[in-house]
């Protein structure tokens, strides 16, 4: 049996012994004796009697162990032309004084703090400062519009919100503070204070009494120590798109998270203290939480925060400049970033200008990695390109590779790899029956999930159970479809629900549909994700207008584009709607969304026998063709 098989088997056959051993590799204030248990709601909990502090492990421990002068964080910002380095000593000072400042503002253990910031070091300091004092952070992606922020404020009810005056996109400065003010005016719950980082590119007006200047707060506050926390105390809430307008508040505990991330840094990323780890993501996403902040710092690595894009800051050589300049060992990003680079520099001419010999491996996640992009990246970089699959819910990889114990990685293009220890993955049919290799179905994970995965949803156990645990008893439903081959390699083919990935950003078409449906012009609509060469998916709305509304497609499209941009944000990349007279439905009235997607993608599809009126499909084809949207003109139809 291979070392991978041995390790994997042990984790599945005796999870308590396996994760008990892994727990002993981190430093606890009080080691856990109760490795796996169930709480009063019957949900699994890891290390329920352990006491520790994640910020201590990520910062102070390294200082105590003599690595205070090692660089902990490199901030590389091509959009502001700044490169700044922070040692672990600097990090400790910045984090502990901000933590003291938060305490001065009344923030205590268990209080929530929302962080709505661009990619600046202070975003990372803020997360760690919360962790230090046991406050629960909830980072909201800076690209979300005020409505999305307001929804999260109402759910998390933060005592304080930390934000900045502005963010910098490729070609413009984005005023964050007015968006924050707008969100607070829209939310029912009001925070006591906001802490605002004033950036020189655009300063913000402050509300006396409520708004506090970030730098003044830090300068005038004593440093705060790490508070001992129970392993099950929440570290953060991260909202992610579900199938409705209400995002799910994914809860992350402290103990299981620290153990799982350490395990992943050792085995999946195979890095050690001092290595330079660069996750080119955003702290607003789970990749940012786990692999820009906690994972690398728990391991004593140098983490890199890059405030820029793979292209146009200034060109498609940007990533290679950063790798060379900072001697990056591990790069982690979404396939869409590589598609963007490939589009602008297909022959790798810019790449060849730089020395990227420090790079050990490239990791891709966030969306399915298409095979041509995988080959291109492999050929260009000449290092293993490791696709791996995970979700906000898991917080760390479910399917990947383990270079720590496998000298030669067997990478299969199109597959995200093999199940990682702790994850027993089964592919099931609608009835919950196990499928044989190469048959596609629902990808489910046998309970208990390993440490690090969500134990519950924030304040919504009913939804946790109904969304994830009810469909297949004894399993966690991932929401992804896919299959396993004979060698247990897992192929993730896409979501089976109303969630799409736009440039690696997880968004809900269900939410967009609710918004479009509420527009006064709209009688009925369906929003689906259609294939896009660069961004993976793009949302497309099919709209039936109300009686009496002039069906001016471009005008209605303009209105709806503005609606989604103003409410969800530009990241939704909602650009198109087509008007149709009717939507294809089953005789019982269910909209055939998959068919709408297949038609737009020019895919072979079968007309279901339950369809109410098949003629509608021709109308849909014609509407798409007229606008040259998607690939409708090459679609193939069969009768069932
Ligand atoms: N704050 C405000 N606005 C933001 C934003 C932020 N943090 N991030 C993105 N936006 C805006 C952009 O300015 C853009 O607005 P526009 O439509 O007015 O131009 C819009 O949202 C879409 O942004 P983006 O998806 O980044 O598209 P792009 O065309 O600017 O860049 C890529 C395309 C592929 C280069 C870019 O999406 C990318 O780097 N993707 C990698 C994604 C990633 O790391 N995902 C995390 C999972 S690992
Ligand atoms: P998020 O919660 O934002 O990390 O998005 C999780 C979703 O992204 C998953 O449920 C998948 O649909 C998709 N995803 C992430 N990584 C991969 C991958 N390597 N291959 C295929 N899909 C992926």
pLDDT digits (tens, 9 = 90+) for 418-434: 999 999 999 999 999 99
Helix (H, G, I), strand (E, B) or coil at 87: strand
Distance of alpha carbon 478 from alpha carbon 397, whole angstroms:
13
> What separation in Å is there between the alpha carbon of 309 and the centre of ligand 2?
20
Distance of alpha carbon 523 from alpha carbon 128, whole angstroms:
47
Predicted local distance difference test score (pLDDT) of residue 382: 97
Nearest CA to ligand 1 atom 15: 570
Domain 503-627: assigned CATH number = 3.30.300.30
Mean pLDDT of the chain: 96
Predicted local distance difference test score (pLDDT) of residue 455: 98
Mutate to test the pocket of ligand 1, among 336, 370, 391, 533 (most ligand atoms within 8 A of CB): 336
Of all ligands present, the nearest one to the C-alpha of 501 is 2
Q: Which atom of ligand 2 is nearest to the CA of 369?
A: 20
CA Rg, the chain, in Å? 24
Domains in the chain: boundaries:
3-308+388-482, 503-627
pLDDT band at 156 (very low <50, low <70, confident <90, very high): very high
Contact status, residue 522 vs residue 514, Cβ threshold 8 Å: no
The pLDDT of 452-457, averaged and rounded, is: 98
Residue 388: other Cβ atoms inside 10 A: 24
| Residue 253 burial (10 A CB sphere; 0-12, 13-18, 19+) | buried
Q: What is the 3-state secondary structure (H, E, C) of 391-409?
A: CCCCCCCCEECCCCCCCCC
Contact status, residue 423 vs residue 390, Cβ threshold 8 Å: no
Would the CB of 501 count as within 6 Å of ligand 2? yes
The pLDDT of 238-253, averaged and rounded, is: 92
Kindly report, residue by residue over 505-515, the tens digit of the pLDDT.
999 999 999 99
Would the CB of 240 count as within 6 Å of ligand 2? yes
- What is residue 127's DSSP assignment? H
CATH topology of domain 3-308+388-482: Rossmann fold (3.40.50)
Say if residue 217's pLDDT is above 80.
yes
Helix (H, G, I), strand (E, B) or coil at 489: coil
Say if residue 633's pLDDT is above 90.
no
Q: What is the 3-state secondary structure (H, E, C) of 143-183?
A: CCCHHHHHHHHHHHCCCEEEEECEEECCCCEEEHHHHHHHH
Predicted local distance difference test score (pLDDT) of residue 630: 86
Sign of the alpha-carbon torsion through 37, 40, 44, 50: negative
Would the CB of 15 count as within 6 Å of ligand 2? no
- In percent, how much of the chain has pLDDT > 90? 94
Distance of alpha carbon 99 from alpha carbon 125, whole angstroms:
9
Of all ligands present, the nearest one to the C-alpha of 306 is 1
> What separation in Å is there between the alpha carbon of 404 and the centre of ligand 1?
33
> What separation in Å is there between the alpha carbon of 456 and the centre of ligand 1?
30
Mutate to test the pocket of ligand 2, among 143, 411, 501, 508 (most ligand atoms within 8 A of CB): 501
Predicted local distance difference test score (pLDDT) of residue 1: 86
The pLDDT of 116-139, averaged and rounded, is: 98
Predicted local distance difference test score (pLDDT) of residue 634: 56
Q: What is the pTM (predicted TM-score) of this model?
A: 0.96
Say if residue 377's pLDDT is above 90.
yes
Distance of alpha carbon 294 from alpha carbon 302, whole angstroms:
11
Contacts of 158 (CB under 8 A, 6+ apart): 111, 112, 113, 114, 138, 191
Nearest CA to ligand 2 atom 21: 368
Which pairing describes strands 418-419 and 399-400: parallel, antiparallel, or unpaired? Answer: antiparallel
- What is the number of H-type helices and E-type strands within the chain? 20, 33
- In percent, how much of the chain has pLDDT > 70? 99
Say if residue 563's pLDDT is above 80.
yes
The pair of structure tokens assigned to 487 is 């060698």
> What separation in Å is there between the alpha carbon of 289 and the centre of ligand 1?
18
Contact status, residue 199 vs residue 165, Cβ threshold 8 Å: yes
Kindly report, residue by residue over 301-329, the tens digit of the pLDDT.
999 999 999 999 999 999 999 999 999 99
Distance of alpha carbon 620 from alpha carbon 614, whole angstroms:
10
> What separation in Å is there between the alpha carbon of 335 and the centre of ligand 1?
13
Distance of alpha carbon 564 from alpha carbon 587, whole angstroms:
31
> What separation in Å is there between the alpha carbon of 571 and the centre of ligand 1?
6
Q: Ligand 1: residues within 6 Å at CB?
A: 142-143, 167, 169, 174, 280-281, 285, 287, 309-311, 333-334, 336-337, 340, 365-366, 503-505, 570-571, 573
The pLDDT of 232-247, averaged and rounded, is: 92
Higher local confidence (pLDDT), 636 or 228: 228
Kindly report, residue by residue over 172-196, the tens digit of the pLDDT.
999 999 999 999 999 999 999 999 9
Of all ligands present, the nearest one to the C-alpha of 536 is 1
Any idea what the Cα angle at residue 94 is, between residues 92 and 98, rounded to 5°? 115
Kindly report, residue by residue over 286-304, the tens digit of the pLDDT.
999 999 999 999 999 999 9
> What separation in Å is there between the alpha carbon of 510 and the centre of ligand 1?
21
Q: Which atom of ligand 1 is nearest to the CA of 333?
A: 48
Distance of alpha carbon 567 from alpha carbon 561, whole angstroms:
10
Would the CB of 365 count as within 6 Å of ligand 2? yes
Kindly report, residue by residue over 597-624, the tens digit of the pLDDT.
999 999 988 888 899 999 999 999 999 9
The pLDDT of 401-419, averaged and rounded, is: 95
The pLDDT of 101-117, averaged and rounded, is: 98
**Backbone angles phi and psi of 264, in degrees to 5:** -70, -35
Would the CB of 635 count as within 6 Å of ligand 2? no
pLDDT band at 439 (very low <50, low <70, confident <90, very high): very high
- What is residue 634's DSSP assignment? G
Kindly report, residue by residue over 28-86, the tens digit of the pLDDT.
999 999 999 999 999 999 999 999 999 999 999 999 999 999 999 999 999 999 999 99
DSSP sequence for 563-607: HHHHHT-GGG---EEEE-SS--BBTT--B-HHHHHHHHTT-EEEE
> What separation in Å is there between the alpha carbon of 247 and the centre of ligand 2?
16
> What separation in Å is there between the alpha carbon of 157 and the centre of ligand 2?
28
Sign of the alpha-carbon torsion through 232, 282, 125, 146: negative
Omega before 314 within 30 of 0, i.e. cis: yes
Say if residue 477's pLDDT is above 80.
yes
> What separation in Å is there between the alpha carbon of 514 and the centre of ligand 1?
23
Contact status, residue 41 vs residue 456, Cβ threshold 8 Å: yes
The pLDDT of 112-131, averaged and rounded, is: 98
In residues, how long is the chain?
Answer: 640
Residue 569 backbone zone (phi > 0: left; psi -120 to 50: alpha; other: beta): left
> What separation in Å is there between the alpha carbon of 451 and the centre of ligand 1?
31
C-alpha dist (Å) from residue 456 to 231, 391, 392, 463: 14, 14, 12, 9
Nearest CA to ligand 1 atom 26: 571
Which pairing describes strands 505-508 and 499-502: parallel, antiparallel, or unpaired? Answer: antiparallel
Indicate the helix (H) or strand (E) that contains 212: strand 211-213
- What is residue 30's DSSP assignment? B
Predicted local distance difference test score (pLDDT) of residue 639: 56
pLDDT band at 171 (very low <50, low <70, confident <90, very high): confident
Would the CB of 492 count as within 6 Å of ligand 2? yes
Nearest CA to ligand 2 atom 5: 391
The pair of structure tokens assigned to 430 is 């609608």
> What separation in Å is there between the alpha carbon of 415 and the centre of ligand 2?
13
- What is residue 75's DSSP assignment? E
C-alpha dist (Å) from residue 484 to 4, 92, 426, 491: 17, 45, 8, 6
Nearest to 457 by CA among 41, 27, 28: 41
């Amino acid at each position: 049996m291979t070392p991978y098989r041995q390790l994997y088997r042990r984790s599945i056959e005796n999870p308590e012994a396996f994760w008990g051993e892994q727990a002993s590799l981190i430093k606890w204030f009080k080691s856990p004796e109760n490795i796996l248990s169930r709480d009063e709601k019957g949900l699994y909990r890891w290390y329920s009697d352990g006491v520790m502090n994640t910020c201590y492990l990520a910062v102070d421990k390294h200082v105590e162990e003599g690595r205070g002068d090692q660089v902990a964080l490199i901030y590389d910002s091509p959009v502001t032309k700044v490169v700044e380095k922070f040692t672990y000593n600097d990090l400790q000072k910045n984090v502990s004084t901000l933590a003291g400042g938060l305490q001065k503002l009344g923030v205590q253990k268990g209080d929530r703090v929302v962080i709505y910031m661009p990619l600046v070091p202070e975003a990372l300091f803020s997360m760690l400062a919360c962790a230090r004092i046991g406050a629960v952070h909830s980072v909201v992606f800076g690209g979300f519009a005020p409505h999305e922020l307001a929804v999260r404020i109402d759910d998390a009810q933060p005592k304080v919100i930390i934000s900045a005056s502005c963010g910098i996109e490729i070609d413009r400065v984005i005023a964050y503070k007015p968006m924050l003010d707008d969100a607070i005016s829209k939310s029912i719950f009001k925070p006591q204070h906001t802490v605002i980082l004033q950036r020189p590119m655009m300063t913000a007006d402050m509300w006396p009494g409520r708004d506090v200047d970030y730098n003044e707060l830090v300068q005038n506050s004593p440093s705060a120590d790490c508070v001992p926390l129970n392993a099950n105390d929440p570290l953060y809430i991260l909202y992610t798109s579900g199938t409705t307008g209400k995002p799910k508040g994914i809860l992350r505990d402290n103990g299981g998270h620290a153990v799982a991330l350490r395990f992943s840094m050792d085995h999946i990323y195979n890095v050690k203290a001092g290595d330079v780890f660069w996750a080119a993501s955003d702290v607003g996403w789970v990749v940012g939480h786990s692999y820009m902040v906690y994972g690398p710092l728990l391991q004593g690595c140098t983490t890199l925060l890059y405030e820029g894009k793979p292209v146009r800051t200034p060109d498609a050589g940007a990533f290679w400049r950063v790798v060379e300049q900072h001697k990056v060992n591990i790069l982690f990003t979404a396939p869409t970033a590589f598609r963007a680079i490939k589009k602008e520099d297909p022959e790798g001419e810019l790449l060849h200008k730089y020395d990227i010999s420090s790079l050990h491996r490239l990791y891709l996640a966030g969306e399915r990695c298409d095979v041509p992009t995988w080959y291109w990246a492999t050929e260009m970089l000449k290092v293993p390109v490791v696709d791996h699959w995970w979700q906000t819910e898991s917080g760390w990889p479910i399917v990947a590779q383990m270079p720590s114990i496998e000298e030669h990685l067997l990478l299969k293009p199109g597959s995200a790899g093999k199940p990682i220890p702790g994850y027993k993955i089964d592919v099931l049919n609608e009835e919950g029956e196990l499928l044989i290799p190469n048959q596609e179905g629902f990808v489910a994970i046998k309970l208990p999930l390993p440490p690090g995965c969500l134990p519950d949803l924030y304040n919504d156990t009913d939804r946790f159970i109904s969304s994830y645990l009810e469909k297949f008893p004894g399993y966690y439903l991932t929401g992804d479809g896919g299959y396993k081959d004979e060698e247990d390699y897992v192929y993730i083919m896409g979501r089976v629900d109303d969630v799409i990935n736009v440039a690696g950003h997880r968004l809900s078409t269900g939410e967009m549909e609710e918004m479009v449906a509420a527009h006064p012009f709209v009688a009925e609509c369906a929003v689906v994700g259609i294939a896009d060469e660069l961004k993976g998916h793009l949302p497309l709305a099919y709209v039936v207008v109300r009686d009496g509304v002039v069906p001016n497609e471009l005008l209605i499209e303009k209105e709806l584009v503005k609606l989604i941009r103003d409410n969800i944000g530009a990241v939704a990349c909602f650009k198109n709607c087509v008007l149709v007279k009717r939507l294809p439905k089953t005789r019982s009235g269910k909209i055939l969304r998959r068919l709408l997607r297949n038609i737009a993608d020019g895919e072979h599809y079968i007309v279901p026998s339950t369809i109410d009126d098949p003629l509608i499909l021709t109308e849909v084809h014609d509407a798409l063709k007229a606008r040259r949207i998607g690939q409708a003109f090459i679609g193939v139809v069969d009768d069932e």
